[in-house]
């Protein structure tokens, strides 16, 4: 099947490993920042609600490519921001790509969590406040734990979308799967469909098990209403 495609010339596993790293660190950062944004969306302070609402609406309607390129050109090339670490441009762009993915994906995490917050009966929050808990305690001890259980499925969809979105990092020179695919297309013009098939299979191998696993988790921890 691969007679017309010399795969030994290319580091496929290395490219997909970069994709996995981009996905993992971006997912962790997005979950943290998205949770903070969700807390701000339901906070009693109008300033916090206004900031979170504006952030989510602006970022969700901004193309991801624009955000990623802005992180590279605006932060690194213009302002000299490297986020520490190694001085190599590819390492710097890797970190800046993660920052861009976090900024973008956290808006979708926020909205997923906010929908989960709406599934928690209002009476539970009122009962917690009647016991003397403040807003942070009510949110952290009563509301968010139930919200996370309710939105495992939607968060799985966000994670799968993030995995596929990592291909945008190739626009700033991050050596992940899409960057390698571009190089292979240029060098293996007589095997284009085979190149596409190889990378399609690679992304299916990354996203399908994730979706199945988180789907099972969603059924197991879901809260019946």
pLDDT tens, position by position, 90-131: 778 889 999 999 999 999 999 999 988 888 888 888 888 888
Going by C-alpha positions, the residue among 14, 65, 23 that lies closest to residue 166 is: 23
For the entire predicted model, the pTM comes to 0.88
Q: Is 5 within the bounds of a domain?
A: no
Q: Is 163 within the bounds of a domain?
A: yes
Going by C-alpha positions, the residue among 113, 94, 182 that lies closest to residue 152 is: 113
Q: Is 202 within the bounds of a domain?
A: yes
Q: Is 1 within the bounds of a domain?
A: no
> What pLDDT, in 10s, does the model give residues 32-67?
999 999 999 988 889 999 999 999 999 999 999 999
User: Tokens representing 74?
Assistant: 């605006």
Q: Is 52 within the bounds of a domain?
A: yes
CATH number at residue 32: 1.10.3720.10
The total of other beta-carbon atoms located within 10 Å of residue 97's CB is 27
Which pLDDT score, from 0 to 100, does residue 153 have?
87
Which pLDDT score, from 0 to 100, does residue 113 have?
92
* Contact call for residues 115 and 151 (beta carbons, < 8 A): yes
Distance of alpha carbon 44 from alpha carbon 168, whole angstroms = 37
The range of the structural domain enclosing residue 35 comes to 10-221
Q: Is 179 within the bounds of a domain?
A: yes
> What pLDDT, in 10s, does the model give residues 188-204?
777 788 888 888 999 99
Which pLDDT score, from 0 to 100, does residue 219 have?
81
Q: Is 2 within the bounds of a domain?
A: no
Region 62-89: mean pLDDT is 80
**How many domains does one find in the chain?**
1
Distance of alpha carbon 27 from alpha carbon 167, whole angstroms = 15
Report the percent of the chain where pLDDT is more than 90. Answer: 40
CA-CA distances (angstroms) from residue 20 to 16, 130, 159, 195?
6, 45, 11, 20
> Which has more confidence, 182 or 79?
182
Q: Is 3 within the bounds of a domain?
A: no
């Amino acid at each position: 099947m691969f007679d017309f495609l010399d795969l030994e010339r290319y580091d496929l596993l290395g490219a997909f490993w970069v994709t996995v790293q981009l996905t993992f660190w971006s997912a962790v950062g997005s979950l943290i920042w998205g949770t903070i944004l969700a807390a701000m969306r339901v906070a009693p302070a109008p300033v916090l609600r206004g900031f979170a609402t504006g952030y989510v609406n602006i970022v969700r309607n901004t193309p991801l490519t624009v955000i990623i390129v802005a992180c590279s050109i605006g932060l690194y090339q213009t302002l000299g921001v490297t986020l520490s670490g190694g001085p190599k441009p590819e390492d710097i762009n890797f970190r800046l790509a993660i920052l861009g993915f976090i900024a973008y994906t956290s808006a979708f995490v926020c909205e997923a969590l906010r929908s989960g917050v709406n599934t928690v009966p209002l009476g539970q929050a009122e009962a917690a406040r009647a016991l003397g808990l403040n807003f942070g305690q009510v949110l952290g001890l009563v509301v968010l734990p139930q919200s996370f259980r309710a939105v495992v499925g939607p968060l799985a969809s966000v994670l799968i979308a993030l995995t596929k979105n990592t291909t945008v990092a190739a626009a700033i020179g991050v050596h992940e799967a899409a960057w390698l695919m571009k190089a292979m297309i240029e060098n293996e013009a007589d095997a284009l469909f085979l190149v596409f098939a190889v990378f399609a299979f690679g992304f299916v191998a990354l996203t399908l098990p994730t979706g199945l696993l988180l789907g099972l988790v969603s059924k197991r921890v879901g809260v019946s209403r």
